[in-house]
Structure 1
Amino acid sequence: MQPRKAATADVPELIRLRAVALESLGTNPGPADAPWRRIARHWFDERINRRDDCVCLVVGGGPGEPLLACGMAWITYHLPDSRRPDGRRGYLDGIVTDTPAHGRGHARRIVDELVGWLHGAGIHYIQLHTSEAGKPVYEAAGFVPGRYPGMDLITAPPGP
């Protein structure tokens, strides 16, 4: 089954698969009415329908059927340098396969098409973050550990 571009009708399933991904990473996605899900509806809609620097691909999801897998790529903007004069890079995110569909190559096909989309946009430096479970998919596609170690800063939102 080949990946296709996501449509507005896929948004509820994209949110469901996001919850699957969160659970697989040890994060409780919360109930069906959790605030993040409402925000995610608008987030996905904007990226599917109103942005040309982002693409979302899905597998499955015919009429009345669940999505089997999904993934996204977008262009990020950084300071120019000698190897990337325009400062653009690609980023892959949200690549998840529903548990019953594991092992069928869906994620790999999505990754290959996302990389192809970025290459078509003239981007040849692509980054991602991965879980241990996802690592073999990305290694098979040619990804290697990053040149620079990552760091995060997480701050608390302001109080009431």
Structure 2
Amino acid sequence: MRPRPALPADVPELVRLRAVALASLGVDPGPEDAPWRDVARGWFLERLVGRDDVRCLVVGGAPGQPLLATGMAWVTYHLPSPRWTDGRRGYLDGIVTDGSARGQGHGRRIVDGLTDWLAGIGIHYVQLHASSDGESVYRAAGFTTGRYPGMDLFTDPTA
């Protein structure tokens, strides 16, 4: 099954798959009416409509029907350098396959589709944060351990 671009009708399924991803990372997504889900619906809709620097691919049914997998890529903007003169990089995020559809290559096809899209717009430096479940998919697609260590700062003590 080939990935297709996500459409606004897919937003409920994108939110559902986001909850699947969170649960697989050990984060309780909470009930169907959890406040983050409303925020996520607006977040996805904003990025699916009218943004040239974001791409969301899905595998599964027609728009509005159940999805098997999804993933997103967007352009990030950094300082120019000799090798990356315009400072643009790609970032992959939200790559998730529903539990019943894992092991069928959906995640890899989404990763390939997203990296192809980025290459097509002239971006050849792509970053992501990998879960242990997804690491083999990303390595098979050519990703390597980052050159620079990742670090986080949480300024809210409850984070």
Q: Same fold (TM over 0.5)?
A: yes
Q: Which amino acid in 2 is paired with 1:87?
A: G
State the Cα distance separating 1:35 from its structure 2 match. Answer: 1.1
Aligned CA distance change for structure 1 residues 31 and 136 (closer, same or farther; 3 Å): same
Normalised by the length of structure 1, the TM-score is: 0.96
* 2:6 maps to 1:9: no
Identity %: 70
Any conservation in 1 of the 2:70–2:107 contact (CA below 8 Å)? Answer: yes
Alignment-derived partner of residue 155 in structure 2: 155
Unaligned ranges ≥5, structure 2: none
For 2:124, what is the secondary structure of its paired residue?
Answer: coil
Unaligned ranges ≥5, structure 1: none
User: Would you say how many aligned residue pairs link Structure 1 and Structure 2?
Assistant: 158
4+ long deviations beyond 3 Å:
none
Alignment-derived partner of residue 37 in structure 2: 37
CA RMSD of aligned residues (A): 1.4
Give distance in 2, aligned partners of 1:115 and 1:157: 36
| Pairing 1:125-136 to 2, within 5 Å after superposition | 125-136=125-136
C-alpha distance after superposition, 1:52-106 (max 9, x if no partner): 1000000002366310000000000000011111100000000000000001100
Any conservation in 1 of the 2:10–2:65 contact (CA below 8 Å)? Answer: no
Alignment-derived partner of residue 139 in structure 2: 139
Give distance in 1, aligned partners of 2:23 and 2:128: 19
* 2:65 maps to 1:49: no
Normalised by the length of structure 2, the TM-score is: 0.96
Give distance in 2, aligned partners of 1:33 and 1:81: 45
Alignment-derived partner of residue 95 in structure 1: 95
